[in-house]
Structure 1
Amino acid sequence: MTMTAEQATWFSDIFNRLVANVDQVLLGKTFVIRLGFTALLSEGHLLLEDYPGTGKTSFARAMAQSVAGTTTRIQFTPDLLPGDITGVSIYDQGKAEFEFHRGPVFANIVLADEINRASPKTQSALLEVMEENHVTVDGVSHEVAEPFMVIATQNPIEQAGTYRLPEAQLDRFIMKASIGYPDHASTLRILEGSAVRSHEHVLPPIVTADVVVEMAQLARTVHVDPTIHDYVSRLVESTRTAGEVRLGASVRGALALIRTAKTLAAASGRHYVIPDDVKALAEPVLAHRLIIDPEAEFDGVTASSIMSQILIETPPPSERQAVQ
């Protein structure tokens, strides 16, 4: 079944209300907020690489409040253990049996703060739950809540004592973004509201968690023309043949680009994907999956600049072709 025009209008209306709600907290960052909800409704996870104090925690909390969901924050440190994330089984002497105590990963939106400061063993504890939506402890699987999303952050400064995320872990994030500092006008608005601390902001819920699950299922039914599939395939293949790239985007990256393009199309009130949807998401979805050649990286080449060049060199199908 394909999404109808009426369903696309309904989807777009709720999406824009969600974005406007969070925009009350994360001032002047509409594009990043749209990326966040696109990731959530594409049933994916978001990696934020940004400086301290840019509103990452407020962003996660505001998203959870908007969908009437729960949120937890895990501060990653070198001594953090996998059980501190997933939970542990503790023996109950009264019942003479082991009882599972859930960890902070059992929430709708989980903020994994400074994920690169934890050991690889602890980082990998998120792999199963991010991919399979369940946690296995002592051979027993425990389902996490729906919707479920991990917003992980890493600091681009102070790299001493950090553990770079392995490629397998990076590939689990459907997209990577940066909030950045607010502009002058937004900074003034933040300072004018300084009497209210960030954690005291309580946003009204726009929809329930069940509606978010319904929207995610509906986004899957957006029509994608074969010409769009061909365009995405050519973009991904170009990342593998680029001279500055040692390892290009995987098939998982191509699937992620299609999934997020479907969601963005529905958020724009359309029941079909157009090339502009793909172009808008190519950099946040694919750039973090590329491994740059060390010499090129030393010369200042970035994954974002490579993606920008690939988008210029790879001709998209005409919109008429994509709609037919």
Structure 2
Amino acid sequence: MSVQPSGHLAPPTSPISYDDGERARELLARLDAVLDQRIVGQRGLRTALVTSLLAGGHVLLESVPGLAKTLSAQTLAAGVGGTFHRIQCTPDLMPNDIIGTQIYNYATGEFSTQLGPVHANLVLLDEINRSSAKTQSAMLEAMQEKQTSIGGEVYPLPKPFMVLATQNPIEEEGTYVLPEAQMDRFLMKEVLTYPAPEEEVDILDMMASGAFNTPIQAQPITLEDTIFLQRLVDKVYVDNVIRQYIVALINTTRGGGPRPLPGFAQHVRVGASPRGSIALMRVAQALALQAGRAYVVPDDIKQLRHPVLRHRIVRTYDALANNVPPEALIDAVFAAVPSP
């Protein structure tokens, strides 16, 4: 694993052995090859999915229908050799429909437990904002605790476990807005855009040739390989200077920091919580591993700043009325705080 250039940011000895670094590089290349066979373009989505998987987090995807969210989730599950379940959220969906329930057996006179679809390695919650607050909270409890409780018994979720939740921003009828406290549970919120014209031509070519239905040729990695990569992310070195940089950024979103932004309170009602600090660090560690480094550099903090922070900043009514995008506020924070 590389431990040079960035001087004071790199540890004297690598926390990741050369053999482990080479194995990680080979596994990530195989996972990338699997995604290449099914997903056209959408680099931001791919980076968000792989990074969240390595960091052990969950992703909220926002886009109009038809931008390969379900396909990407299925492909990622196939790429790690894991189980995949898709849950279509509707207003009448109940918590037991997700986590599971007890069924009475008249022949034996006993109850048996039927586990719900959340018990899979990758779970796609389609249109999460269509389910009621009660169902949302049950799902988010499973995300946080990595377990479900059915009939007084605790059932651990499989490892690794990752949730991809989607929401459609253009339809508001029959939806329940996700509260900020629940949004904060997602490691990242990725906003998908339409593919470029040349990418859309490639999609049509692949559809016409049946490429989307052919078996994946690349060799997927295993669940054990995925857990190995997640443990390597834990080992990636984060210098104290980088940690102070993260804290300074997060404090600036709250109106403080080393260089407070004048008039920032007019646009931001609530800044990012300490969970935002943790998310920035975890995502940076995962990005460093993907780049073949055993330590974090400032560019790792900056690369996915929008997906990590856009759902953690609560804008004021004035900012919403004037259509001030959260990305612009995040960029202002990063411009104000000097990089190490």
Q: Say whether 1:89 aligns with 2:102.
A: yes
1:105–1:311 CA distance, 2 compared to 1 (3 A): same
Of 201-210 and 166-175, deviating more is 201-210
CA contact (8 A) 2:30 2:221 kept: no
The residue that corresponds to 1:321 in the other structure is none
Query: Which string of whole-angstrom CA distances, capped at 9 and with x for unpartnered residues, describes residues 263-284 of structure 1?
Result: 1101100000000000012211
**1:280 aligned to which of 291, 303, 309:** 303
Rounded to whole Å, the distance in 2 between the matches of 1:73 and 1:301 is: 34
The residue that corresponds to 2:178 in the other structure is 165
Give the CA deviation at 1:304: 1.2
1:5–1:309 CA distance, 2 compared to 1 (3 A): farther
**2:124 aligned to which of 107, 111, 114:** 111
The residue that corresponds to 1:298 in the other structure is 321
Rounded to whole Å, the distance in 1 between the matches of 2:280 and 2:25 is: 19
Give the CA deviation at 1:19: 2.4
Aligned length: 317
The residue that corresponds to 1:255 in the other structure is 278
Secondary structure, counterpart of 1:88 in structure 2: strand
Secondary structure, counterpart of 2:28 in structure 1: helix
The residue that corresponds to 1:186 in the other structure is 199
Give the CA deviation at 1:17: 2.9
The residue that corresponds to 2:7 in the other structure is none
Alignment of 1:14-163 (within 5 A): 14-163=27-176
CA contact (8 A) 2:60 2:166 kept: yes
Rounded to whole Å, the distance in 2 between the matches of 1:197 and 1:160 is: 36
**Uncovered stretches (5+) of structure 1, i.e. residues with no partner:** 318-324
Of 147-156 and 164-173, deviating more is 164-173
Give the CA deviation at 1:124: 0.6
**Uncovered stretches (5+) of structure 2, i.e. residues with no partner:** 1-13, 256-263
Q: Which amino acid aligns with 1:225?
A: D
CA contact (8 A) 2:149 2:155 kept: yes
**2:331 aligned to which of 308, 312, 315:** 308
Query: Which string of whole-angstrom CA distances, capped at 9 and with x for unpartnered residues, describes residues 294-319 of structure 1?
Result: 111110112111111111111110xx
Of 52-61 and 237-246, deviating more is 237-246
The residue that corresponds to 1:228 in the other structure is 242
Q: TM-score, normalised by structure 2?
A: 0.89
CA contact (8 A) 2:100 2:114 kept: yes
Secondary structure, counterpart of 2:301 in structure 1: helix
Q: Which amino acid aligns with 2:119?
A: F
Rounded to whole Å, the distance in 1 between the matches of 2:80 and 2:316 is: 41
1:260–1:62 CA distance, 2 compared to 1 (3 A): same
CA contact (8 A) 1:89 1:101 kept: yes
Secondary structure, counterpart of 2:208 in structure 1: coil
CA contact (8 A) 1:19 1:34 kept: no
Give the CA deviation at 1:289: 0.8
Of 272-281 and 201-210, deviating more is 201-210
Q: TM-score, normalised by structure 1?
A: 0.94
Q: Which amino acid aligns with 2:69?
A: K
When the two chains are superposed, the root-mean-square deviation of aligned CA atoms in Å is: 1.6
Identity fraction in percent: 41
1:199–1:86 CA distance, 2 compared to 1 (3 A): farther
The residue that corresponds to 1:320 in the other structure is none
